[in-house]
Amino acid sequence: MIRSLVIAAIVSCAIAFAQEKPNVSFEWAFGTLSGSGDDAKLVVIQRDTTLSSGDELKMMVKLKEDCFVYVLHEGPSGEISLKFPYDLKQFTTDYKVGKNYYIPKGRPWFKLDANVGRETFYLLASAERLLDLEALLGKYKDAEASARPSAAKEIVAEIRNVRKHYKTFTTFAERPISIGGNVRSLTRDEATRRPDVAQIAAEITANNFYGKTFTIDHK
């Protein structure tokens, strides 16, 4: 009888451990260049920061497990854009574990324009597709200009709802892969003279869901 209870307890612990194993895992990099030319340094954007018009930004996502990562941008006027995936069809086409996906795609970097204000980036990752959010993104894309402000507010509200839904039973961890902060002597792309933002990536793991908001005070 005692032996049976011990075996049952071991099995129960094993099941609990399996359930707690992170099912969301990816590498994430978000950086900006400080300075100019060969003296420019790659600075990690970890949450909130202040940048100026003309500053450049670059992000990278690399899946380590099958999960769904979304990067959305909310501009100073409240406009919403999906930065990753590049479009929602990508989830069923070019979406692979172990591949570096740069945001924006390829070698270009985002450059802050003359429209100052708050720039917000939402990073969301889920073990399952966020279909309600995707539907709202489609609604926003198809909306007339006059209806877009209202549609944008629905998207931001849905992001809050998703985070609230998962808040009570989500645990996560972030582990830097390379040195954080200002990073010197990084390998540069000779064609652009810019460092590879993947070199400042952090590994993120979570149970079911991960969400983080980056706010940039654009001056």
- For 54-79, how does the pLDDT look when each residue is reduced to its tens digit (9 = 90+)? 889 999 999 999 999 999 999 999 99
The mean pLDDT value for 122-134 works out to 97
pLDDT tens column, 192-214: 577 899 999 999 999 999 999 99
The structural domains of the chain, with segments of one domain joined by +, span: 23-218
Is the whole-model pTM more than 0.85? Answer: no
- pLDDT above 70 covers a percentage of the chain that reads 78
The first and second tokens of residue 144, run together, are 């007339």
- pLDDT band at residue 21 using 50, 70 and 90 as cut-offs: confident
Q: Is 57:112 a contact under the CB 8 Å cutoff? A: yes
Cα–Cα distance, 156 to 158 (Å, whole number): 5
- pLDDT band at residue 17 using 50, 70 and 90 as cut-offs: very low
* Among 107-121, 152-166, 176-190, the least confident range: 176-190
Q: What's the first-to-final CA gap in the chain, in angstroms?
A: 71
Q: What is the mean pLDDT of the chain?
A: 84
The mean pLDDT value for 28-45 works out to 82
pLDDT at 211: 94
pLDDT at 195: 85
The mean pLDDT value for 50-56 works out to 88
pLDDT at 192: 59
Beta strand residue intervals within 64-171, DSSP E: 68-74, 80-84, 100-103, 110-111, 117-126
- pLDDT band at residue 188 using 50, 70 and 90 as cut-offs: low
Q: With 70 as the cut, is the pLDDT of residue 189 above it?
A: no
Q: With 90 as the cut, is the pLDDT of residue 40 above it?
A: no
Q: With 90 as the cut, is the pLDDT of residue 160 above it?
A: yes
* Per-residue exposure over 45-57, b if at least 16 CB sit within 10 Å of its own CB, e if not: beeebebeeebbb
